[in-house]
Structure 1
Amino acid sequence: MFFFPIGCLALALFVLLLPLLFIFIFFNVTTFSFEKLGISPEVALIILISTLFGSLVNIPLTKRTVQQASVTFGWFRIPVRRESGLAIN
């Protein structure tokens, strides 16, 4: 007898749709919480999306470069040059 792999197909479909389910629940909970604050769901969704896209932008303020040359047992090592930056997100 030949059986169609319905169980495997259902499992694959579930695994593929699970991330969409989490995203959908996240957006619904977020818009519901904004609605409780008195903000309409459309404006809440616009605020949420603009916040998510705005977090991708970093405004650099300053950079610091530090060079360290260390002496170990009378031998000079190659100086390590490190740079760190300060930015506003």
Structure 2
Amino acid sequence: MKFTPPLFHPNIYSDGRVCISILHAPGDDPLGYELASERWSPVQSVEKILLSVVSMLAEPNDESGANIEASKMWRTDRDKFNAIVKKQVLSTLGL
């Protein structure tokens, strides 16, 4: 899953790819961070994936960030983080 254009968010890579467990390759996590049951499997429904993305957007996991700058800013300077995201959204809307 990928946001186009990319979104400034702790769990979204700079190219727009979403980083959440449910979208990671199936099986055991080589780093031991995620359980196999949390990762991709063919039984995942579109609804479950979308709910996971909505949850990620509302409550980022800043301890496992795909975008380190956004993760740090989310923790230490929420006003600046919100300003960057607002500017991005307005730009996307052509405003």
Same structural fold, with TM-score higher than 0.5 when normalized by the shorter chain: no
| Structure with more helix by fraction | 1
| Structure with more strand by fraction | 1
Who wins on radius of gyration, i.e. which is larger? 1
Higher RCO, Cα 8 Å, sep 6+: 2
